[in-house]
Structure 1
Amino acid sequence: MSVIKIKGVKFFQDHLNALKAEHDFSPLPASAIATYILFHLNCDDLGILRARDPENALRKWSDNTGIPYSTLHTGREILFKRNFISETFNGNDPLYEINGYAIHNNPNSQKEGVKLNYFRLPFALKKTSALKNLVSAKDSAGLIMLLDLCNSFHRDARWKPERTDFNLSRSMKFFQEKMGKSAKKIRSWIEAIKDIFSFSPIDYKERVPNQERVAVRKKNNPIQIVIKNFSVQMANGLLSKEEDPFHVKQVEATVRKEAVVQFKRNEMVVSKKQIRDIMTAFRQETLKPLSKYVNQSDSYKVQRNRLFYHIFLGALENTINYHKESIAQDKNFRIHNIGGFFREKVKHFTLQAMIFDLSKSETIIEACKHLDPLGNVDLRELRDLWSKAEEMKYRRFHRRS
């Protein structure tokens, strides 16, 4: 199974709607919208950024994007005042939080009526000049239209996975009405975001000056090119074809989110890089070795995913317990190589599971019974909740088929 997607991070539809509503009520400067985008490009699965992390320093963002530090600082202050972001703490560790992000990025929120409706912003916005160009032009409408185009491309790729090329058709009139700009300013906006989107004219006509009109006195009487429609494409390299032959991407996303939640709940300071190291260890020590079993029946995948949850949560609990015991003896203790520590734990549980024949659903069930390391009641309930969710997912699939 493969999916075409934008290489980037989530931006929730409700946040875009709120941004537009706020801008309509009281216009937001381009600095605030660009800074809000950068917050999304750097936050974790809870919408949180560690204030002391050098990667989250405004100076670092300024160096990467070319947007002046003072402009980003002004934008951040406006986001605080308009309630788009807030300051909080994890123990003594100061944090920035995108308000509402954690609620929207939680699958369990669907029970509460919150829809998991999002699109993706390309990572390239962190490095290219697009944001700088639009901030320099004070083009708030241009930034919002940039978000709208990312939204449209995300949905186009999601619902048409068989396609190999993606483009949208948009008219000059559409851009003029949505952005309230002249054709000349639309062309300037197109030039500003060329590193993210490319525009090709679909149809155009030449407007030849009337030589018989006495009033025509323009230099050289130039021929004007009038473009009515564009084909819009995302720049090369910003879309990827994500292969998932063993159907484990959803498992990875689920356990990664929970790791972030559990570390925060236990006041452990863990950076985005350390979370990536943990997921790399899980991928290499558990998912890759167990992917050699090619039984792809639905009942098998339910039990296999249940085993993945057992292994990951066991390693996670061991890591958290070790931190708790060490912090009780030394308040300044930190696990410096948390990825390496987690790797040892997840490898241990994986090897325990591999004693069993994992090519059959029945023996995977036995491996799960044997591998029951969780002492934390909340984690046991969470593991069972995930397992039930897997079973319900395949039941819904069978009802549709």
Structure 2
Amino acid sequence: MDFEQHCWAEVDLDALVHNFKLLQAHAAPAQVCAVVKAGAYGHGDGMVCRALEAAGAKWFAVSCLAEALHLRAAGIGGDILILGRTDPSCAASLVRCGLTQAVFSPEYARQLAACAGQAHRPVQVHLKVDTGMGRIGFVARGAADVAPCAAALSACFELKGLEVTGLFQHFAVADSHAPADVAYTRRQHDLFLAVLAALEAQGRQVRTAHCCNSAALAEHPEWGMDLVRPGILLYGEQPSGEVSLPGLVPVLTLKAAVSQVKDLGPGQALSYGLCFTAGRPMRVATLCVGYADGYPRAMTNQGVCALHGAPAPVVGRVCMDQLMVDVTGIPGVQAGDAATIFGAGGAADSTAAVAAKVGTIPYEIMCGLALRVPRVYLQGGRCAAVVDYLKQSSL
């Protein structure tokens, strides 16, 4: 299958399915709810969800209504949980498309229920408990909060426009081994269990309870309950430098073509700001990728790409659409060659290495890939599909 080899991201669907099955085995008997928000962390949600659904995934989690509707339009038929706020006026869309909405406060519950009444069917909802993340949720930050939190949650069961089908929470520091953070995570878990028990003591049966993100799943599979919600682990990256799960395979590799190769003499500088000057005769290749594609400008003079299986250090300022690499010691590099910018295997930086060099996390690097970068999907080592968002079609 043809595509223009300018700058593209390769997504290994076999690696994705491998990771899903590994996580499902690790979480059993809990089911895996695949977190596919932000375009499946930059990998492309439609193709990712189709591959996961074919592998047995029944639950998906997104951030907003638009993402959920995009999955339905792509033919995804599993349960879809919206983790963030949906405007209550969109209740009819939630009902029509069979979506599950997170409900995080008494006020929002009442607003959503009132709007759902006009749809003549209730909205399915999972109630969100805030045990210490501090973003959204019915507050249960300490033992004194458990009873009032359970009472507020119980009231949601009485709202005619809502069908409560689940209860969940989110961990704040499950990716840290610092003693204080380990204690905080355990306290969050204990509070969640206390709220769940208090709710059930009032006769409210929760069909689906869940609390584990990627880090918590890696560290505490015994906390899996009914569902687990891995995101970063699905894509073959670890939650942090402290918390990891063996056996994962990276899914994403960013690549770009060489546009030109030229010589640089001693004392000659290159790119914006002239922040690199050759100290010896050099061969420099210009690649068709820059910060507008998602390669951080902060990788200037510290990134490592790869050509012909050998490392090619970034030299000079990373531009919006181009960057330069040192190929002096790599024979035969020419225009049209494919360079690995970062990702799975080889001599280039891993996604985690790029993140570490610029002081962020792999999540941000993957989510930062621009829509102008075609996603090339591989199965069995071959190109199975190409999604080019600028063309709004599969080639």
Q: Aligning the two structures, in what range does the TM-score lie when normalised by the shorter sequence? A: under 0.3
Greater strand percent: which structure? 2
Larger Rg: 1
* Larger fraction in helix: 1
Tell me the TM-score normalized by structure 1.
Answer: 0.24
Give TM-score scaled by structure 2 length: 0.24
